Amino acid sequence: MPVVSAVMTTEIMPGCEPYSATGSRNGVLVLHGFTGNPASMRSLAEAIANEGYSVELPRLPGHGTSVADMMTTTWADWSGEAARVFEELSARCDQVAVVGLSMGGGLTAFLAESHPEIAGIVLINPLVKAPPAELREGLDQLLAAGVETIDSIGSDIKKEGAVEASYDATPLACAASLFEGVALVEENLASITSPVLVLSSREDHVVTSDNGDAVVERAAGPVERVWLENSYHVATMDNDADLVEAQTVAFLQRVLAS
């Protein structure tokens, strides 16, 4: 039988289901990116769970089903779901850390800005800045002209044969909402006091590296940055995946030490 979301009207794409693991009273929330789904973070989430942590990798609203589903959602839905799962995990854990890729990194920063109790955050090629005004204006013009989608931004992976199970189109209204959300995240980066690990690909065709620069420059807590030399945007599925996992696990072991 196909897996059907209790919230969405469309069947979940195979392999795009949420992931959950019960472990110790140290928890880790893992968040995927825009137009992506849990599949891009599954290997990393499992590596974290294998260290004994309790792990939640939710499927954000509108993701992992269909573009039509996504077009009914906004930043409020994605950030609201991230906050809901964070609260549930926090209720059963003594300490919680958060890990996010791309928009998931923006959501991770969003949570850290209002939850100083977060033990630490890992940001993988995070989106924490809105694009330049002229790009946003162009997007608004496309929407006004009735254009609903553009080409997909998914599967920016250097590794030969690796493919992300992301959508084949990018819904523009959702992108506009995303940019409004991350603009607020950028304004509040100085509110982040938790320890931060930033993992940045040298070559990224989706999110510019100045997003990571902004975190390094503005976050109030201690920040460590590691450059990924052999991956594009979806580094969790790319040539540096093992390095991403090793760096993430080592960081979590430090910040979640009892």
- 9 in a domain, yes or no? no
Q: Are 57 and 32 in contact (CB under 8 A)?
A: yes
Among all residues, which ones are annotated catalytic? 102, 204, 233
Q: Which CATH number does the domain housing residue 212 bear?
A: 3.40.50.1820
Residues paired with 149 in a beta bridge:
171
Q: Are 73 and 62 in contact (CB under 8 A)?
A: yes
- 7 in a domain, yes or no? no
Contacts of 131 (CB under 8 A, 6+ apart): 179
Amino acid at 51: E
Q: What is the pLDDT of residues 62-73, one digit of tens each?
A: 998 999 999 999
- 86 in a domain, yes or no? yes
- 5 in a domain, yes or no? no
pLDDT(6) > 70: no
Q: Which runs of E-coded beta strand occur in the chain?
A: 19-21, 26-31, 54-57, 95-101, 121-124, 149-151, 169-171, 196-201, 223-228
Q: What is the pLDDT of residues 124-164, one digit of tens each?
A: 999 999 888 888 888 889 889 998 888 877 778 999 888 88
- 8 in a domain, yes or no? no
Q: Measure the N-to-C terminal CA separation of the chain; round to a whole number of Å.
A: 42
Residue 258: pLDDT band by 50, 70, 90 thresholds?
A: low
Structure token digits, residue 256? 């979640």
In the chain, how many domains are there?
Answer: 1
- 98 in a domain, yes or no? yes
- 4 in a domain, yes or no? no
DSSP string, 55-117: EEE---TT-SS-HHHHTT--HHHHHHHHHHHHHHHHHH-SEEEEEEETHHHHHHHHHHHH-TT
Mean pLDDT of 217-243: 97
60: containing domain: 19-255
Which residue, among 67, 89, 48, 54, has the nearest Cα to 236 in the 3D structure? 48
- 24 in a domain, yes or no? yes
Q: In terms of pTM, does the model score above 0.85?
A: yes
